[in-house]
Structure 1
Amino acid sequence: MKTILIPTDFNASALNCIPEVCAAMNEKEINIIFVHLFRLSDSITDLLMLSRRSREFEHVSDDFHERCSELKKQHPVVKSIKIEFFYGSTLSMFRNFLEANAVDCILHPEFCSYGKLNKASVDPSSLVIKSGLPTVTVLKKSEARLVKQFAALEEESLMAV
């Protein structure tokens, strides 16, 4: 069983990658963790209240939760979908987060729907690349369509010979 981390802004379009991720993984079971990264605050009050934060969960819409449930039903290979928030901006903190969540690989940020939720949001690209974990790449729908068209043309040219 593999655990995949997907950086996201919790937009419903972030879930469009799930069918491609399932196909790319070749696993019997996968766990998916959607995560948004925030810079750690300098305020002592914010740091003291960090464990009681629920403000970030307001960014996760009911539609996102519903689509997660639908995707779990459509793709039996997906055993769990979790929503997490990472607070920090250093590589060591990020690696600790990955280890604590038993993450095996990360969806490459290029294939994620990732935007800022607020001014404290952190771009995950550099942390993901430096983490040392393998990244998963998937074909976007337009790319997949082009690959199929190219394969069909290649097949036709081989039949003509």
Structure 2
Amino acid sequence: MKKIIIPTDFTVESLQLIEYAILNFPDTKLDIILVHGFKLPDTRWGLTHFSALREVNKLNTDAFAKAKNMFVREHSDVIVRLRFELFTGSNSFAFRNFAEQLGVKDAIVPKGKFLHVDNSKCFDPTRFVKSNIDNVIEIPFELTEEYQKTKFSLSGLLNL
């Protein structure tokens, strides 16, 4: 089984990177970790009451959850596990430790600007993934500005 880290912004279109993981590692069972950057609170109160699970649940929209669940069911023969992790560090050293704890050596990332983060507490971890994971596959996937600003529904993604 191969562990793969994939950055996500909790949009339905970011799930397309999972499809590339399946295509790039044929006949391999996959343990996929979707990673999102999150800035820890800067107060003692905020830190003591911080919950990564609660933050992931806040970021996880209904459209994203439905698309993710459908994707996992459709590829259940390949995807053994799909989970979320928040990277709360701020430098490459912290990300190396994060990746080492997860036991990840492979990654799928977008080559161009793909992930958008509107929340001031969140950030795109792609640059840390690119510089700290041994085997990074960059997918040449660029979005137009108009496409990036558009919010997608599950039916729009699936052309229903």
TM range (shorter): 0.7 to 0.9
- Checking the alignment, whether the CA contact within 8 Å between 1:38 and 1:85 is kept in structure 2 is yes
- Checking the alignment, whether the CA contact within 8 Å between 1:109 and 1:124 is kept in structure 2 is no
Per the TM alignment, residue 56 of structure 1 is displaced from its structure 2 partner at its CA by 4.0
Q: Which residue of 2 aligns with 1:151?
A: none
Higher share of residues assigned helix = 1
The 10-residue stretch of structure 1 (6-15 or 57-66) with the greater mean CA deviation from structure 2: 57-66
Structure-to-structure mapping, 1:9-158, within 5 angstroms: 9-51=9-51, 54-75=54-75, 76-110=77-111, 113-138=114-139, 140=141
Q: Work out which of the two has the higher radius of gyration on C-alpha atoms and give 1 or 2.
A: 1
Q: In 2 relative to 1, CA 51–18 (structure 1 residues): closer, same or farther, beyond 3 Å?
A: closer
The 10-residue stretch of structure 1 (60-69 or 77-86) with the greater mean CA deviation from structure 2: 60-69
3-state SS of the aligned residue for 2:16? Answer: helix
Q: Normalising by structure 1, what TM-score?
A: 0.74
- Gap runs ≥5 in structure 2: 143-160
- After superposition, the CA RMSD in angstroms is 2.4
What is the percent sequence identity of the aligned residues? 27
The 10-residue stretch of structure 1 (5-14 or 57-66) with the greater mean CA deviation from structure 2: 57-66
Distance 2:14 2:49 in 1: 29
- Gap runs ≥5 in structure 1: 142-161
Q: In 2 relative to 1, CA 21–90 (structure 1 residues): closer, same or farther, beyond 3 Å?
A: same
